[in-house]
């Protein structure tokens, strides 16, 4: 595509003419240098960069992720998210066990291919830039982060739990089923969080995003994913997280909520977070609280597979059906 046609496409799809020199980038290695209004030329396709995605954790847009670009596909004007290569690693802990986690663009590209026909995963494909970097071109999902959706519900917990939660749980179970299919394919999500589920506008389908993290845990290859799912369940059942420092705010006036909790009632993964939610909300059924306690410091038995978790969640689902 020559420069004149590129400029026409930019003006057509961005509604603003490009002023100044047209900067076409074919090597994305130095992603910090790629700015808004640059054009990425990747495998013969052209993408107009509109800025960076921001970290969505905790429901707030925060620091920009300079390796993740918002872009417009100049072939058709569709909105894309372009994930460039950024290698990062850290050590997380489950209990006293250290687990190494790291980004793998190749692994995410592999999952995009394996889940291309699965509607519960984000859609995209992988191409290489001129230096062989593994670039992922992702279709932007129009919708709401699950984290924001739950936090923005106006009901108190009891009203939410009886009127809204059963439907939410059905959707979350479909998310767990999707992770089970991923595990059956020999892959892990690697970064299961409440803001890595999007609720698609229109279909209302819950869709997994962002699976470029992986981890090394030979004893339980799917363990980190399972603890991520446990964290999502705590958030879903509790209509948010309930942490030791602010427990008094969620209990009846004049009652010291912390006094009824033992160390075994707290999360194994986040030691300040309540896992035994039945102690805060007594109307939570035993079957559901039984699932939550698998992720507590007091647990004697842990889930080893997503299939085990699904079995217990389906019991919970039937317990919540109207009589």
Mean pLDDT, range 149-159, rounded to an integer: 95
Q: Does a structural domain hold residue 167?
A: yes
For residues 154 and 278, membership in a common domain is answered with yes
For residues 151 and 220, membership in a common domain is answered with yes
104, pLDDT greater than 90:
yes
Q: Does a structural domain hold residue 149?
A: yes
Identify the band that residue 83 occupies on the pLDDT scale cut at 50, 70 and 90: very high
For residues 189 and 310, membership in a common domain is answered with yes
The mean-pLDDT minimum among 66-80, 208-222, 256-270, 271-285 falls in: 256-270
For residues 178 and 307, membership in a common domain is answered with yes
Q: Which of 84, 99, 114 is the last residue of a domain?
A: 84
pLDDT per position as a tens digit, 3-29: 889 989 998 998 777 777 899 999 999
3-state secondary structure the chain: CCHHHHHHHHHHHHCCCCCCCCCEECCCCCHHHCCCCCEEEECCEEEEEEEEEECCHHHCCCCEEEEEEEEEECCCCCEEEEECCCCCEEEEEECCEEEEEEECHHHHHHHHHHCCCCCCECCEEEEECCCCCEEEEEECCCEEEHHHHHHCCCCCHHHHHHHCHHHHHHHHHHHHHHHHHHHHCCCCCCCCCHHHEEEECCCCCEEECCCCEEEECCCCCCHHHHHHHHHHHHHHHHCCCCEHHHHHHHCCCCCCHHHHCCHHHEECCCCCEECCHHHCCCCCCHHHHHHHHCCECCCCCCCCCHHHHHHHHHHHHHHCCCC
Identify the band that residue 257 occupies on the pLDDT scale cut at 50, 70 and 90: low
- Name the residue range of residue 38's domain: 3-84
Mean pLDDT, range 309-322, rounded to an integer: 86
Q: Which of 84, 112, 129 is the last residue of a domain?
A: 84
Phi and psi dihedrals of 71, rounded to 5? -150, 165
In the chain, how many domains are there? 2
Q: Does a structural domain hold residue 211?
A: yes
For residues 65 and 167, membership in a common domain is answered with no
Q: Does a structural domain hold residue 121?
A: no
249, pLDDT greater than 90:
no
More confident residue, 18 or 34: 34
For residues 54 and 157, membership in a common domain is answered with no
Q: Does a structural domain hold residue 95?
A: no
Instruction: Return d(Cα 168, Cα 180) in angstroms, integer.
Output: 18
Identify the band that residue 148 occupies on the pLDDT scale cut at 50, 70 and 90: very high
For residues 176 and 42, membership in a common domain is answered with no
253, pLDDT greater than 50:
no
313, pLDDT greater than 90:
yes
Q: Which of 84, 114, 130 is the last residue of a domain?
A: 84
The answer to pTM > 0.75 is yes
Write out the two tokens for 193: 């969080």
Identify the band that residue 322 occupies on the pLDDT scale cut at 50, 70 and 90: low
Q: Determine the pLDDT at residue 217.
A: 85
For residues 80 and 184, membership in a common domain is answered with no
For residues 148 and 293, membership in a common domain is answered with yes
CATH number of 35's domain = 2.30.30
Instruction: Return d(Cα 91, Cα 101) in angstroms, integer.
Output: 6
For residues 160 and 50, membership in a common domain is answered with no
Mean pLDDT, range 306-311, rounded to an integer: 96
Q: Does a structural domain hold residue 288?
A: yes
Identify the band that residue 210 occupies on the pLDDT scale cut at 50, 70 and 90: very high
Q: Does a structural domain hold residue 104?
A: no
Q: Determine the pLDDT at residue 16.
A: 72
CATH number of 186's domain = 1.10.510.10
Identify the band that residue 59 occupies on the pLDDT scale cut at 50, 70 and 90: very low
Instruction: Return d(Cα 288, Cα 316) in angstroms, integer.
Output: 5
For residues 272 and 168, membership in a common domain is answered with yes
Q: Does a structural domain hold residue 116?
A: no
Q: What is the mean pLDDT of the chain?
A: 91
> Which range, 89-93, 110-114, 240-244, is most confident?
110-114
pLDDT per position as a tens digit, 189-206: 999 999 999 999 999 999
With a pLDDT cut of 70, the percent of the chain lying above it is: 93
For residues 206 and 295, membership in a common domain is answered with yes
252, pLDDT greater than 60:
no
251, pLDDT greater than 70:
no
């Amino acid at each position: 595509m020559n420069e004149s046609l590129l400029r026409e496409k930019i003006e057509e799809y961005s509604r603003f003419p490009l002023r100044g020199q047209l900067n076409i980038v074919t090597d994305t290695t130095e992603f910090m240098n790629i700015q808004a209004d640059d054009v990425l030329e990747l495998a013969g396709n052209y993408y107009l960069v509109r800025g960076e995605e921001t970290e969505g954790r905790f429901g707030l847009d925060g620091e920009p992720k300079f390796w993740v670009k918002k872009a417009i596909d100049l072939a058709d004007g569709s909105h894309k998210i372009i994930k460039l290569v950024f290698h990062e690693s850290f050590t997380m802990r489950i209990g006293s066990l250290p687990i190494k986690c790291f980004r793998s663009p190749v692994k995410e590209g592999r999952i995009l291919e394996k889940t291309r026909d699965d509607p519960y995963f984000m859609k995209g494909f992988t191409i290489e830039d001129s230096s062989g970097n593994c670039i992922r071109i992702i279709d932007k999902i129009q919708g709401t982060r699950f984290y924001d959706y739950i936090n923005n519900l106006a009901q108190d917990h009891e009203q939410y739990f009886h009127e809204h939660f059963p439907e939410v749980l059905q959707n979350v179970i479909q998310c767990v089923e999707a992770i089970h299919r991923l595990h059956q394919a020999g892959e892990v999500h690697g970064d299961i969080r409440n803001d890595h589920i999007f609720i698609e506008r229109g279909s209302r389908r819950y869709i997994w995003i962002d699976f470029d993290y992986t981890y090394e845990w030979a004893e339980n290859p799917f363990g980190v994913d399972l603890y991520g799912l446990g964290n999502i369940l705590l958030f879903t059942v509790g209509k948010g997280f309930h942490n030791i420092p602010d427990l008094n705010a969620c209990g009846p006036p004049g009652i010291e909520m912390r006094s009824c909790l033992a160390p075994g009632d707290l999360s194994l993964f986040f030691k300040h977070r309540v896992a035994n939610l039945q102690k805060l909300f007594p109307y939570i059924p035993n079957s559901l609280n039984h699932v939550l306690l698998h992720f507590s410091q007091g647990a004697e038995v842990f889930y080893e597979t997503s299939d085990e978790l699904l079995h217990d969640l389906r019991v919970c689902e039937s317990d919540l059906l109207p009589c």
